[in-house]
Amino acid sequence: MQRTTLEAANDKKYPTDAKLVHYEVEGKMFIDLTRSQKNVNIFDLYCDTYGKTAVKKIDFGYGTVSPQRWGYKTPPQKKKRR
């Protein structure tokens, strides 16, 4: 989620490895919800995109869903032959 609010990102339906990135662009504060294996990858991406002083804080998200199960949809069941 890009440029969202803290209330919208405070949802338990997101995976447990989601991170909240607080950053500043042109004097305005924004919050993104993103996923990555390492915080340094998130930090590098935001620094390259918005500048060296843009990232203010990287926090854990509020999600409770296992990352392996997030976004998983059960396949449709096939009809059984009689």
- Low-confidence stretches of the chain (pLDDT < 70) are none
> For the residues of the chain, what is the DSSP string, one character each?
--SB-HHHH--TTSBTTEEEEEEEETTEEEEEEEE-S-HHHHHHHHHHHH-TT-EEEEEE----B-TTTTT--PPPPPPPP-
Output the pLDDT for position 48: 94
Q: What is the pLDDT of residue 58?
A: 94
